[in-house]
Structure 1
Amino acid sequence: MTLSLSTTRDAGTITVTVTGAVDLSTAAALDEAVAAAVDDGPPSVVVDLAAVTFIDSAGINALLKSRRLADERGRQFRITNPTGIVRDVLDLTGVLDHLSG
């Protein structure tokens, strides 16, 4: 499956925009992109999931690791715009509120 990542910076926030499927074969790329954003030092990191078409346990793990890293570095972290099946999976696994807040 394919994954596309882009990063933008605006007024103290870095947004990582994710497009495509986040699964076992692509989760490491997401993990690396968000870790780089966190290490870049902004007060806030946002992961925009509006264009994510699929997420599995590896993708969820990458998001949880990213949240934990941001917390350790004193950065705010949240996901935005999960839709459809991605929102349902995050909600059913009980991580939607934790990652959104």
Structure 2
Amino acid sequence: MNALQLTSEHASDFVVITVAGELDLATRPYLLAFAQDIIDTSPGTVVVDLSGVAFIDACGLSALIAIRRHARERGTPLLLAGAPPAVLKLLKLTNLDASFTVVSRSASADPPPGGAQDVPPLRAGLPFADR
């Protein structure tokens, strides 16, 4: 069984990437490839739903940083949604909390900056191979 599950939900002006499982050295390349592909092909805001993340380490954090950089290079607004306490703590400890736009899962029903009008309900994802 894969330690990481990734899915995406597309709307006209945003995409929600749902991440579930572990973000670490072994899963970093899968998240990067998945997110970069979506950023490269999506016309609007990208929301990364982290509510299903059970574990994150420095490699997982570096994946989020690389995704943020990739989004900035392409002019794509990026939001982190539903980050569990462990992710929020890691962002704060590394002083990266100000580098990301972080919204709570309940706040994701509000329009995110960058033009999205409605964010769909955030759901648990399917395995990466099923995207």
TM-score (norm 2): 0.72
Q: Distance in 1 between matches of 2:56 and 2:15?
A: 22
Per-residue deviation, 1:81: 1.0
Residues 15, 42 of structure 2: 8 Å contact kept = no
1:83 partnered with 2:84:
yes
**In 2, Cα distance between equivalents of 1:81 and 1:69:** 21
Q: Which has the higher helix share?
A: 1
Structure ranking higher on relative contact order (CA contacts 8 Å, 6+ apart): 2
What displacement does 1:96 show?
2.2
Q: Please tell me the residue identity of whatever aligns with 1:6.
A: T
Determine whether 1:31 maps to 2:35: no
Number of aligned pairs? Answer: 101
Q: Which runs of 5+ in 1 are unaligned?
A: none
- C-alpha deviations, 1:55-81, integer Å up to 9, x for none? 111111111111111111111012111
Partner of residue 47, structure 2: 46
The 3-state SS of whatever aligns with 1:97 is coil
Instruction: Name the structure where strand makes up a greater proportion of residues.
Output: 1
Q: Which runs of 4+ in 1 moved over 2 A?
A: none
**Larger Cα Rg: Structure 1 or Structure 2?**
2
Alignment-mate amino acid for residue 41 of structure 1: S
